[in-house]
Amino acid sequence: MRSVIRFVSALVALSFAAGLAHAQKYPARPVRILVGTPAGGPGDVVSRGAAQVLTRAFGEPFVVENRVGADGMIAGDAVAKAAPDGHTLLTADNYAISVNPVIRSKMAYDPRRDLVPIIHFGYLAAAILVHPSVPANSLKELFELAKAKPDSIAWASWGLNSSAHFYIEWLKNGKNIRFYNVPYKAASQAFPALLSGEVKVAIFAVGPASQQVKAGKARALAVTIGRRVPQMPDVPTYKEAGLDADIFTWFGLFAPAGTPQELVHRINAELAKGFVNDPAMREKFLLPQGIMIDPPAGASPEEFAAMLPVERERFANIAKIAGIRIE
């Protein structure tokens, strides 16, 4: 009898060891990180930095793949429908995760149900910029110009769920301040349009925009996060400038729903230590883009998940005031 028990115990131990080895054998092949924004933008740059860290940590390539279009939904849908084995991940901003579900009556997937958060990368500090020809040195002066000549000052946007579109519609429907909305395919196209004078107002990341501001090619009137930033220390926050709309951008990494929590936490731990909270990687990939490390950036998946319902509700209220709805 004892020999039988020992034999069964040995089989159980071997089975457990084999299962553990299988669970630890990740990744079994190259991992794709899908990004719904164009190459060279903040979301893309952050993803490539994260991919470097994960490639070193796991010994298999993590490859960034840009799937641009449909306000981030092409990339989001592909990841939502991928196998939950950690081999397909998603870098997305809050407009793809929190805004699309509250402004669209139909989506092929539900970010709450079909995606799980891994890590928050940080908040993108952007600036509300004007062309030097605009006779305004503050948001108050810009709004006074727009009130005096409604629909005459061109403001660049890029998509129905972009921060610029939200600002334009929120000001129009909430404050009766009317700008002329000029849509582009991406923020990377809207910013050059401002520099050339094609439009007079634009929003862009403070990292790349700061050099143009210093050169006198654009004027920054406010930054769109709640604290001043080192790239533009003399530029007021949106609240200091008199704007009470909490419209800002963050980036995070997600996996398909059903991905094992052990794996989610392993990826989170590697990125928290080796990327978000690593001074050298911050200096190389995050701060130059204008990404600020404020909570829950670099924190646990659970802390990231806890902010998402609050975020969605906040944007639902803003979208209601702005009158943004896509049937």
What is the DSSP track for 228-250? -BTTBTTSPBTTTTT------EE
Please say if the pLDDT value at position 19 is more than 60: no
Look up the CATH number of the domain holding residue 305: 3.40.190.150
Its domain, for residue 115, covers 29-123+249-322
33-65: per-residue pLDDT in tens? 999 998 999 999 999 999 999 999 999 999 999
pLDDT tens sequence across 255-293 = 999 999 999 999 999 999 999 999 999 999 999 999 999
Q: Within this chain, do residues 149 and 201 fall inside the same structural domain, yes or no?
A: yes
Q: Are residues 139 and 280 in the same domain?
A: no
Q: Which residue has the tokens 């902010």?
A: 307
In order of 141, 248, 252, the CA distances from 107 in angstroms are 40, 23, 20
Do 138 and 53 reside in the same domain of the chain?
no
Q: What is the pLDDT of residue 293?
A: 95
Parallel/antiparallel/unpaired status of strands 154-157 and 180-183: parallel
24 falls in which pLDDT band (50, 70, 90)? low
Task: Supply the CATH number for residue 201's domain.
Answer: 3.40.190.10
* 17 within a domain of the structure (yes/no): no
d(CA 182, CA 170): 15
Question: How many CB atoms are closer than 10 A to CB 170?
Answer: 21
Q: 201: which strand partners?
A: 130, 155
What's the rounded mean pLDDT across residues 234-256? 95
Cα maximum dimension of the chain: 95
Confirm if 325 and 105 have CB atoms less than 8 A apart: yes
Residues 35 and 181 in one domain: no
Split into its structural domains, the chain has a count of 2
